[in-house]
Amino acid sequence: MRTLSDNFAAFGGFRGLHGLSSTTQAPAGHLATLTDFGSNPGHLAGRFHVPAGLADQAPLVVVLHGCTQNAAGYDHHAGWSQLADEAGFALLFPEQHSGNNPNLCFNWFRPGDTRRDAGEALSIRQMIDAMVIAHGIDRERIFITGLSAGGAMASVMLATYPELFAGGAIIAGLAYGRASSVPEAFDCMRGQRLASDEELWALLRAASAHDGPWPRITIWQGTADHTVAPSNAEDIAAQWRSVHGLDTAPTQSETLGPRVRRRWSNADGDILIEVNTLARMGHGTPVGEDLGTAGPYMLDVGVSSTREIAGFWGICPARDADAQTAPPRRTTKANSPRGANAPAKANSPATRLAAPEAGRTPAAPRGRPQPERSSVQKTIEDALRAAGLMR
């Protein structure tokens, strides 16, 4: 008889959703514990780091770990605390626990945790508010990043609370609202749950009543990632191009060693979206140069995504000469050109009728049928129900 673990292993892509093959843990180190930050409906823990002598109105970076990782382990390998001490910004690390998810994944695909003012999303929002009040954070310079399930949860936070963030960074993650169940999450991760730009835009617009300005987004993805298909990076870019009103074609494309970087700018020349694709890189966070330490799903490819992300946001000096180093500016309606692929109006009656409920995945575009559910997938679903991981 096949065990539950055997069933999981038989279903490609499960490792990235409910656990990686090895853990990235570390002792608590110098991260402090955040307490009394609100009702905490998502039952998350909070860790934080504030550099000595932090200036008033400093930036805040929210960092979301991946499956089987914890806050201290991710911080150790990615180098966020080291950079925070150098550049002078505060850090918040929401942390999952096994009571919510046995493999410590943020529940980015569960509707009760991905809606505004509910579940894990609200818990993270409450942690941010507590940090702002306790440490005099600049509300105009709050940023969020995450890896894998943490990257998908960063998409959730950027979509449901866009007014809160000046920028986001999604590493091997997924676009907002692409899955509302475990089977849908599998399909999305494998790149088999397709959606048009218009459907991606509608999901993001349905997540909140916000109408701009919008966060700036940097996306990181390996071409050899067999856990989260590279097509998911394209979905994320398309979702945010639509609300920023940008054309499909990038403003700039360049090759930087193993990395191809595409950027989209508005009419004023502000870089609003970038996609960084790393050749032959698998599933994980890129680390290297003088920042970060290799480990499980923390990949030394000679590029420090931590430093590059902070440079893109304008909260530390960027390493390459042509990178944007000025403080980020949010796009406004007045300076956001509308690309040919963008919907005509964000709040038109036709758009409101077409926009699905937040957290729900649209039907696949015509001409691209969904794959039928295999017997292996059915076996996995039965196993997940037996384990209490899905209904």
Catalytic residue IDs: 148
DSSP state at residue 11: S
Q: How far apart are CA 287 and CA 355, in angstroms?
A: 38
Q: In whole angstroms, give the CA distance from residue 243 to residue 144.
A: 18
Beta strands in 214-336 (DSSP E): 216-222, 252-256, 259-265, 271-278, 285-287, 298-300
The span from the CA of 303 to the CA of 300, in Å, is 7
Residues 6+ apart with CB under 8 A from 326: 314
Residues paired with 256 in a beta bridge: 259
Please state, in angstroms and rounded to a whole number, the distance separating the CA atoms of residues 171 and 383: 29
Question: What is the residue whose two structure tokens read 């919008």?
Answer: 214
Q: Bridge-partner residues for 171, per DSSP? A: 147, 220
Q: Are 201 and 342 in contact (CB under 8 A)?
A: yes
Other CB atoms within a 10 A radius of the CB of residue 307 amount to 26
CB 121 within 8 A of CB 156: yes
DSSP helix/strand/coil, 132: helix
Per the CB < 8 A criterion, the answer to whether 308 and 319 are in contact is yes
**Cα–Cα distances in angstroms (integers) from residue 388 to residues 97, 124, 337, 381, 383, in the given order:** 16, 24, 47, 10, 9
